[in-house]
Structures are given as structure tokens and as C-alpha cells.
Amino acid sequence: MSFLFGSRSSKTFKPKKNIPEGTHQYELMKHAAATLGSGNLRLAVMLPEGEDLNEWVAVNTVDFFNQINMLYGTITEFCTEDSCPIMSAGPKYEYHWADGHTVKKPIKCSAPKYIDYLMTWVQDQLDDETLFPSKIGVPFPKNFQSIAKTILKRLFRVYAHIYHQHFSEVVHLGEEAHLNTSFKHFIFFVQEFSLIERRELAPLQELIDKLTAKEAR
């Protein structure tokens, strides 16, 4: 499934991140796609038997980046400096950008700028072979889980912004089911492997409770 982005989003949004064919991660991605097709999201996120947890987390992180990239790409025209001068997820939650390297002190910026910084930063992490090795036999760094946790925590903020500030546009575009399925998949995945702290999920806790209640274990 792909969306045709307008000119603005093709400038501000990163190209889709592809996992190289012929690699073990590519096979894992195909497995993930097949289990997702079964419709049982709880089952789809579980670590396949005999597989490496880091590889499974890496493949799914790339997939969530691509999904969020597409979902946000459909509403970029509604998310502007004027409509969203701050990066928020409702009145109680505001996010300031810092990546710890080039921007050490958190800066206040508009939602489109924040999300552009965020997606560029994630893309750079995913493209770094020392962090996300795609070649067989190249080990993951020892701190891989904490790297993945930071990426997923930040990707969650894009979902939170879309739900709080742009849900009516999503409904208008007929993307509601796609957004809900993507977010539910994301939540089941981070819950399965305890990848995001509960306090970080607070802006969408009510929605999370609703989406996950139907498929309680």
C-alpha cells in the first residue's frame, strides 16, 4: 500500500526504508507480513521461534517508520506552521526537540518542523550499519535495545500528534481504519517487548485501553 505524496511531503519526508532482498531480515519481514495477514495482531508481534530478538525488533522498527512516514504523509498539508505552531498531543502534552548531538538543549518548534527533525533523525539511525546491521554475521551493538526504545518512543509522538490534532482530517480522507490498525500493531509490539514506558504513552492511554481491551490475553 502506498500513497502519492504531494510536492511538500516529498521534500520533507524521507524515502521509504527498504530491507535488502536476500537477507535474513528480509525473510523475517516476509514472515511478519504473512502473520499480520492473519488478522491476529497479538500473534503477529510475537518473536518467531528460534529468532534473534534484536533482529526482530530492528525489522519491525523499520516497518513502523515506513508506516508512520506514509500516514503522516497523507496529512502534511493540514499540519503547518500556522495550524500547529507547537508539537503537541492535546493540551497537556508538548514536545521539544533535542537529539543529544547537534541539538543538545531541547528547542520549541512547530509540529511539522519537529516531525521533520524526528523522521530525519530516525532515518539516519536506520541507515547506520553500526546500529542497524543488515549484513549477516554483523552483530548488533550492545546498547541496541535502548537505541530502539528511543526511536519507538519518538515515533509514538507522531501517532499522538496525528490522533490529537488531525483525526478529523484522517477520517475525512478515509484513513481511519488504516491509522487504527497501524497504531494497534505498534502498541501490541511495544507492549510485547516492554519498549516504551507507560508514562510516555499517557497522551493516548484511553485509546490504547480501548484498542487493546478487545484482544486482551
Is 109 annotated to bind ligand?
A: no
Which residues lie closer than 8 Å to 92 by C-beta, 6 or more apart? Answer: 203
pLDDT at 2 over 50: no
Q: Where are the domains of the chain?
A: 21-213
Distance CA 173, CA 128 (A): 35
Which residues lie closer than 8 Å to 146 by C-beta, 6 or more apart? Answer: none
Is 161 annotated to bind ligand?
A: yes
pLDDT tens digit string along 36-72?
766 788 888 999 999 999 999 999 999 999 999 999 9
Which residues lie closer than 8 Å to 213 by C-beta, 6 or more apart? Answer: none
pLDDT tens digit string along 180-203?
999 999 999 999 999 999 999 999
Cell of 109: 518548534
Distance CA 154, CA 150 (A): 6
What is the rounded average pLDDT of the residues 139-154?
96
pLDDT tens digit string along 36-46?
766 788 888 99
Q: Residue 180's pLDDT is what?
A: 92
Task: Return the bridge partners of 94, or none.
Answer: 88
CA-to-CA dists, residue 18 to 14, 45, 66, angstroms: 12, 20, 9
Which has more confidence, 153 or 23? 153
What is the rounded average pLDDT of the residues 82-107?
89
Cβ-in-10-Å burial (0-12, 13-18, 19+) of 16 comes to exposed
Domain 21-213 has CATH 1.20.140.30: yes
Is 166 annotated to bind ligand?
A: yes
pLDDT at 103 over 70: yes
Q: Are 44 and 38 in contact (CB under 8 A)?
A: yes
Q: Residue 6's pLDDT is what?
A: 36
Share of the chain above pLDDT 90, in %: 67
Query: 3-state class of 192 per DSSP?
Result: helix
Q: What does pTM read for this prediction?
A: 0.88
CA-to-CA dists, residue 153 to 68, 74, 122, 164, angstroms: 13, 22, 11, 17
Distance CA 147, CA 141 (A): 9
